[in-house]
A and B are shown apart, each in its own frame.
Chain A
Amino acid sequence: MSLSSLLLPAVLFFALGVIARLIKSDLRFPPDLAKVLSIYLLMAIGLHGGYELAKADIVVAFQSIIWALVLGFTLPIIGYLALVATRKVNPLDAAAISAHYGSVSAGTFLTAIAYLDNLSIQYETYPLIMLAVMESPAIVVGLILAAKARHSIAVRNGTNKTAVENSEEQGSFKEMLRDAFTNGSVVILIGSMIIGAVAAPSGMEKLKPFIDDIFMGVLCLFLFDMGMVAARRIGDFKKVGVLLAAFGVVMPLIGGIIGVYVGANMLDFSVGGATLVGVLGASASYIAVPPAMRLAIPEANPSFYLTLSLGITFPFNVIIGIPLYHSIAQAIVS
């Protein structure tokens, strides 16, 4: 891992955001800026990816979807078992936290693309489909784990739910499932990919300044803002404790290694493609999953999962994780 790999403008802007916060600068971005930028980034990467995927192999695309589902359903279970084993959090907190680690962070994925582009490393576009697919399954797993945890607690306490409570719970479970598969990020990403795939090439050519030319600049701005957001959460480090904070570093390493292995050995991707699958396995959601968990597992403490995903795992992946998964991919592929 060379120092030059960390000297990406996007990563440096992330560091600037963290520093601005730590030195208590009065710098403030408009409240919805990161949301607006993430919409742009997902749209641009979706259009770009859809255009490339139109020329792709349908069998590999299908295999990518299957492996994305496998990762999306497996990683939160690994995370849940690891968290429960620490005995530092209750099962409901463990379910909510692990859902974040089974889902993905588009910001981390895009930083990985910037990293690979900077090193002129080629990568397959299939991981983009995996990014869209992996947004939701972990939310479903989180809901199931939480339902099981609630049931065990109720049995232990000898409390039974009323028929009204059961029917309310089933209704909200259906709503949660619907929300998990129709959340904004999934709609933008899949919608843009379809548009990119079916749009006339001449029309796509006209979009080049929007999709390609300004992309890295917008990513810098996004990471600048996210650096400030992450730094706010670093202050909560003490609240989560050393063992949980260690989970925020160890879990992405486990997910990253599994992801790289899947990318390299199961999907036969190049070093670049395997790195991207590794990043998908390693990253933790901070946009789609937190609101879903607030609704689905209100008993869980939001400070835990927000601090872990935003304050620990996101900075770890952006600064250390991405070059590390790239090195692992190099080792496995070669």
Chain B
Amino acid sequence: MVSLYAEKMLNIISNDSLEEKLVCMFKKYGVNAYTIVQARGAGSSGDVSYMSGFDANIVVKVILPESKMQVILESIERKIKKGYHLTVYITDIEVITPEKFEKIAR
């Protein structure tokens, strides 16, 4: 049977214009692996349809060790206080290659 290891996944829903800013933040804290998917929906800043490619949303997903999670959350909190519309949630996940995520966050 394959062994499973507990990890935390940070999910950020944001407008796609903030992608570069978020990626810079990850790199600043030594996180070089993340996944970005396009998304649409509605929220406090209105309807984001991704219609015609203007004004699209993204979901950024990154698996982080506890040691990196707090410092990145603090940076995100500063951005939210500045007015950036970011929806952030953390999910418990299980992975089969834990060494992979420790390495990227080092």
Contacts and interface: CB of A to CB of B under 8 A. Distances in A.
Contact size class for A? 20 to 34
Interface residues of B, number: 22
Contact of A232 (B21, B38, B51, B56): B51
A225 B52 contact: yes
B13 to A, nearest CB: 14
Given A298-B83, A298-B84, A302-B45, A32 B53 contact: yes
A301 B54 contact: no
A232 B49 contact: yes
B32 interface: no
B5 to A, nearest CB: 36
B17 interface: yes
B46 interface: yes
Nearest to B51: A229
Contacts of A298: 79, 82-85
Contacts of B17: 290-292, 294-295
A269 B20 CA distance: 42
B77 interface: no
Nearest to A233: B47
B26 interface: no
A301 B52 contact: no
Contact of A31 (B50, B83, B84, B85): B50
Would you call the interface of chain B mostly helix, strand, loop, or mixed? mixed
Contacts of B16: 291
Interface in B55-70: 55-56
B18 interface: yes
A29 interface: yes
A31 B82 contact: no
A229 B54 contact: yes
Contacts of B54: 34-35, 229, 286-287, 290, 310
B10 to A, nearest CB: 20
A291 B50 CA distance: 13
B85 A34 contact: no
A294 B53 contact: no
Given A229-B54, A292-B17, 6 more contacts: A29-B51, A33-B53, A291-B15, A295-B18, A298-B83, A302-B15
26 contacts: A31-B38, A31-B51, A34-B54, A226-B52, A228-B51, A228-B52, A229-B51, A229-B52, A236-B46, A236-B47, A239-B46, A287-B54, A290-B17, A290-B55, A291-B15, A292-B17, A294-B15, A295-B18, A297-B83, A298-B83, A299-B82, A301-B46, A302-B45, A302-B46, A306-B46, A306-B55
Interface of B: 15-18, 21, 38, 45-47, 49-56, 79, 82-85
Interface of A: 29, 31-35, 225-226, 228-229, 232, 236, 239, 286-287, 290-292, 294-295, 297-303, 306, 310
